[in-house]
Amino acid sequence: MVEDTKGLTVRKQEDLSEWYQQVILKAGLARYTAVSGCIAYLPRSYAIWERIQDVFNRMIKATGHANAYFPLFIPESLFQREEEHVEGFTPEVAWVTEAGSQKLRERLAVRPTSETIIYDTIRPMLRSYRDLPLLLNQWCNVVRWEFKHATPFLRGREFLWQEGHTVHATRDEALEEVYRILDFYQELVEDYLAIPVYRGRKSEGEKFAGADMTTTLEAVMPNGRAVQMATSHHLGEHFTRAFDVKVMGEDGQAFYPQSTSWGLSTRVIGALILTHGDDKGLIIPPRIAPEQARIIPIYQRDTRTRVETEAERVRKLLEEAGVRVTVDTRDGYTPGWKYSQQELEGVPLRIEIGMRDIEQEQVMLARRDTGERTSIPMKDLPEQIPRVLEDIQKTLYERARAMRDDLVKPAGTLEDVKTLIAEGRLALAGFCGRKACEEKLKEETGVNSRVLLEEGGEQACIICGGKGVTTLIGRSY
């Protein structure tokens, strides 16, 4: 263990940001580095990211998408091709201006997102409608330099993500893609990460720079701040026009195809920590947990071999049942120590095996979500453990849902919104999504709209009184 594993010294409810920092360091998720705003993703968080990659890759590959990789650097001339895009991203772009002792002829942007380099590169690949759709995804890092306060995972200068880029013959197909991916994201976030989200679209002021429309999933953290979990954009013809990606149609007429882009980043790991953790540390939902169960052998000197053999037997048994399980074989740590560490690290299930259990052909089971400990017969393990894991998954989601519902309340007027914000909550209120109203909202309340709900009913805008829909409004990360 690199980091001191002693327990947390604050309660989650008392000081969330101190708690968050301690969990990240003590559970070995990440470390601060010599570069301000850039963290090191250590194995205990990177393994979660790899699980996310597995799940998402399976979804997109099943629907015809393929992974690829484009350069980290983007020549300035390309980067500036799409007007809204440049305007939106320029303030936070890091530039490479020299190589060795030579000044570069043209500055290179370190990608904040890859639309520009991708469209420029794929142009020759798309000649005819027969080349469509093009369905690409890449897993990479991106850099966005401008921010005031870095928060590990949630906000930093460099982060990991996937960015999907697709090109379609028609607007309907592109929109279908936008929502197909949004569905995948929702499944990943709600069913795997056990974090409930609000689904809908971004206002004009908050949408992606260069998009016709941005769809989003927004989660709510215990301190009343929203986190954007994933976005899926309809880019219309913005980029195909800007990069002159033109294809021949069935009718012999050349046209600019429609495109989409969509992304989900390592910030979801931050949301996972904040949503599920408790005073003992992290709790990782079983479906996304790299390690779902940890066996802790309890022995005296003379029974060590016996107990360890049994622990290994149980491990294999569970592995065959599809459980991601490990054994804590370290000697010189007492069982109590190992329990605490397992709890800090958020492994959802602990299995204790000692002589007492072996004699009775059972094991002790401890749930990380409820703290509940029960003994179950050895022979029932392959069937019981997966069931308990699913139950933990469900409990975590329900708990998160209850927390969110407690933090988000309906508001009928601008005054109601102000009151809720002052209480550290978020509001659901009618909003039209226009830029002028967003500015007024920001001015009056200090916060922005997060998402215009897809299934929110029509509701008059609390600013202009015009046509609007139910919208999540509040602070965000």
Partner RNA sequence: GGGGCUGUGGUGUAGCCUGGGCGAGCAUACCAGGUUUGGGACCUGGUGACCCCGGUUCAAAUCCGGGCAGCCCCA
CA–CA gap between residue 41 and residue 45 (Å, rounded): 6
Question: Is residue 299 a contact residue for RNA (CB under 7 A)?
Answer: yes
CA–CA gap between residue 91 and residue 145 (Å, rounded): 8
Question: Is residue 304 a contact residue for RNA (CB under 7 A)?
Answer: yes
134, 124 in Cβ contact below 8 A?
Answer: no
Which part of the chain contacts RNA (CB under 7 A), choosing from 167-175, 211-219, 310-318, 355-363?
355-363
Between vectors from CA 39 to CA 33 and to CA 40, what angle results, nearest 5°?
85
Shortest distance, CB of residue 79 to RNA, whole angstroms? 21
Question: Is residue 374 a contact residue for RNA (CB under 7 A)?
Answer: no
Of positions 298, 349, 420, 437, contacts RNA by CB under 7 A: 298
Q: Taking Cα atoms as reference points, which of 290, 216, 260, 218 lies closest to residue 55?
A: 290
Shortest distance, CB of residue 466 to RNA, whole angstroms? 25
Question: Is residue 428 a contact residue for RNA (CB under 7 A)?
Answer: no
Residue 331's Cα: distance from chain center in Å? Answer: 36
Question: Is residue 125 a contact residue for RNA (CB under 7 A)?
Answer: no
Residue with Cβ nearer RNA (2 or 62): 2
Shortest distance, CB of residue 368 to RNA, whole angstroms? 9
First to last CA, the chain: 30
Question: Is residue 328 a contact residue for RNA (CB under 7 A)?
Answer: no
Question: Is residue 352 a contact residue for RNA (CB under 7 A)?
Answer: yes
Q: Taking Cα atoms as reference points, which of 291, 367, 375, 299 lies closest to residue 330?
A: 299
Write down the residue that tokens 């890759």 correspond to.
57
C-alpha to C-alpha distances, 114 to 22, 74, 119, 331, 469, nearest whole angstrom: 34, 8, 9, 49, 32
Q: Which secondary-structure segment (H or E) carries 399?
A: helix 381-407
Instruction: Tell me the helix, strand and coil percentages in the chain, rounded to 5.
Output: 40, 30, 35
Which part of the chain contacts RNA (CB under 7 A), choosing from 119-127, 147-155, 382-390, 464-472?
147-155
Of positions 28, 37, 263, 456, contacts RNA by CB under 7 A: 37
Site size toward RNA (CB under 7 A) is 51
Of positions 98, 251, 301, 320, contacts RNA by CB under 7 A: 301
Phi, psi of 215 (to 5 degrees): -100, 150
439-458 positions binding RNA, by CB under 7 A: 446
Of positions 72, 96, 364, 378, contacts RNA by CB under 7 A: 364
Site for RNA, rule CB under 7 A: 1-7, 9, 17-18, 21, 25, 32, 36-37, 146, 148-152, 280, 298-301, 304, 331-337, 339-341, 343-344, 350, 352-357, 364, 366, 371, 373, 446
